[in-house]
Structure 1
Amino acid sequence: MERNEVAAVLAYIGRLDPRTIRTDTGEARDQIARWHELLHDVPFATAHGWDVREAVRAHILDSPYPILPVDVARKWRAYRRDRLDRHTDVTPVADPDDPAAWRAELLSNRHAVAAGTAAPSTYRQLTSGGPHPDVEARLRAIGSCIPPTVRAELARYRPARAAREAVVAQGGPDALSVQCGWCHARAGEPCRQRRVGPDGTHRGNAARTIPHPSRVDLASARLGQQQAA
């Protein structure tokens, strides 16, 4: 910030917190000089989320102490660190056989992101939205993320799941879609083989390949209700 911008920031702070106002001309000049010394490399505002007035307002709302220039400088450094943490270097357009130009372009991009003049590159982050139209069309054609040929090859390695999928394909109920009332296995989890010892305590917790009959009956009733609706 330039001196006139620092003076504008101090005037804004004075309106929000009168304790910082300096009425003497010499004191006001010294105050501007001290603030400018610490904030000369801090921008007044950027196009990507930084505004020194927002940092000042947040401090006054959160802290009972008068704001100092170091408080603003620390918020700016935190803002820079956050932007760089969210940034992924874009492949430079410079010739990779020219290491100096390659490095200079990388550093230039990073400095622009840190200074708030460019947005972080987030191409490696998860973004909102549905799948690509090509993927949607393929899923509709196949009916599943796993093609039938691959599913058939996997069947011998997971017989319990294969039997469950075969029952559902024939219009039968999916027993694992409901909670088991016998062993209390949650929906999506296999039933458990619970054994009770002579002292009344439960022993063993092995997964069953076949759901409990009561769970199958409950899934059948649920499926009948859905079909009737």
Structure 2
Amino acid sequence: MDRREIAALLAYIGRLDPRTIRTNKGEAGDQLAQWHELLGDVPMATPHGWDARVAARQHIRVSPYQILPADIARPWDVYRRDRLGRHTDPTPCADPDDQAAWTAELVGTRRAVAAGTAPPAQARAITTGRDGVNPRLEARLREIGSCIPPAPRAALTPYRPARAAREAAVAEGKPDALSVRCAWCWAEPGEPCRRRRIGPDGGARGTVPLASPHPSRVDLAAAQQDGQIQQPAAV
């Protein structure tokens, strides 16, 4: 609060509790300077629930003691801690490779939440839709083409060969074999093919994920892409 806001707050408090009124000009000036020194970093009101006048009225209503600056500062500190405690840092829209911009956006968001100028960003429940996605993040994703930047994606290639082979095939314009169910190993769409080991009784003894899809699955994806046949039904 600036000096004018402090003066307005003191005038409001004086109407509720005449004991705080200073009739002497010098005493009034000292009171204004003291309150401004102690409450200069406390806002008069914020768009999200804080109002110093409400805190003052609450104290005067329940306490027989004359109000002090601490009786405004304490509720403000509680308000700030509560908001920061309910805040979950949203993913910054800045380029994650730009550490300075990334950190500055995180700090700026936290300060805005603590100051009461922005609501706490709480973790959303997992949903099947994409409602509420930040438009800036959507634009960034369209620019990059994936939520994983190219360099980390290339570094992960040895650890997920099936996905790497799938992405390479799609990039070359070939059909996406993993978009259909495999008629040989019955791998569901999106899952890699598996090598089935059949026991003497005809049952499957084990399955090992394959880096490359079965040839019949590739043919099936190509045929489906051309609109020739439908996916095989699960049995």
* TM-score relative to the length of structure 2: 0.52
Instruction: Give the aligned partner of residue 161 of structure 1.
Output: none
Does the C-alpha gap of structure 1 residues 98 and 132 become closer, same or farther in structure 2, counting only changes over 3 Å?
Answer: closer
Does the C-alpha gap of structure 1 residues 106 and 132 become closer, same or farther in structure 2, counting only changes over 3 Å?
Answer: closer
In structure 2, distance between residues paired with 1:85 and 1:105: 18
Instruction: Give the aligned partner of residue 38 of structure 1.
Output: 38
Instruction: Give the aligned partner of residue 174 of structure 2.
Output: none
| Unaligned segments of structure 1, at least 5 residues | 134-229
Instruction: Give the aligned partner of residue 6 of structure 1.
Output: 6
Superposed CA offset, 1:150-178 (max 9, x none): xxxxxxxxxxxxxxxxxxxxxxxxxxxxx
Instruction: Give the aligned partner of residue 20 of structure 1.
Output: 20
CA contact (8 A) 1:88 1:124 kept: no
* Aligned ranges 1:7-86 → 2 under 5 Å: 7-86=7-86
Does the C-alpha gap of structure 1 residues 7 and 101 become closer, same or farther in structure 2, counting only changes over 3 Å?
Answer: same
* Aligned ranges 1:115-194 → 2 under 5 Å: 115-124=115-124
Instruction: Give the aligned partner of residue 102 of structure 1.
Output: 102
Does the C-alpha gap of structure 1 residues 132 and 91 become closer, same or farther in structure 2, counting only changes over 3 Å?
Answer: closer
Partner SS, residue 45 of structure 2: coil
CA contact (8 A) 1:42 1:76 kept: yes
Superposed CA offset, 1:59-94 (max 9, x none): 111211111011111111111001001111000011
CA contact (8 A) 1:84 1:114 kept: yes
Does the C-alpha gap of structure 1 residues 45 and 125 become closer, same or farther in structure 2, counting only changes over 3 Å?
Answer: farther
RMSD value, Cα: 1.9
Identical-residue share of aligned pairs (%): 67
In structure 1, distance between residues paired with 2:6 and 2:125: 37
Instruction: Give the aligned partner of residue 204 of structure 1.
Output: none
| Unaligned segments of structure 2, at least 5 residues | 130-235
CA contact (8 A) 1:94 1:105 kept: yes
Q: Deviation of residue 132 (structure 1)? A: 8.0
Does the C-alpha gap of structure 1 residues 125 and 72 become closer, same or farther in structure 2, counting only changes over 3 Å?
Answer: farther
| 1:12 counterpart letter in structure 2 | Y
Partner SS, residue 100 of structure 1: helix
Partner SS, residue 61 of structure 2: helix
CA contact (8 A) 1:2 1:40 kept: yes
In structure 2, distance between residues paired with 1:107 and 1:123: 18
Instruction: Give the aligned partner of residue 179 of structure 1.
Output: none
| 2:10 counterpart letter in structure 1 | L
In structure 2, distance between residues paired with 1:101 and 1:47: 27
Does the C-alpha gap of structure 1 residues 125 and 86 become closer, same or farther in structure 2, counting only changes over 3 Å?
Answer: farther
| 1:106 counterpart letter in structure 2 | L
Alignment length, in residue pairs? 129
| 1:89 counterpart letter in structure 2 | D
Superposed CA offset, 1:125-162 (max 9, x none): 79xxxx989xxxxxxxxxxxxxxxxxxxxxxxxxxxxx
In structure 2, distance between residues paired with 1:102 and 1:88: 15
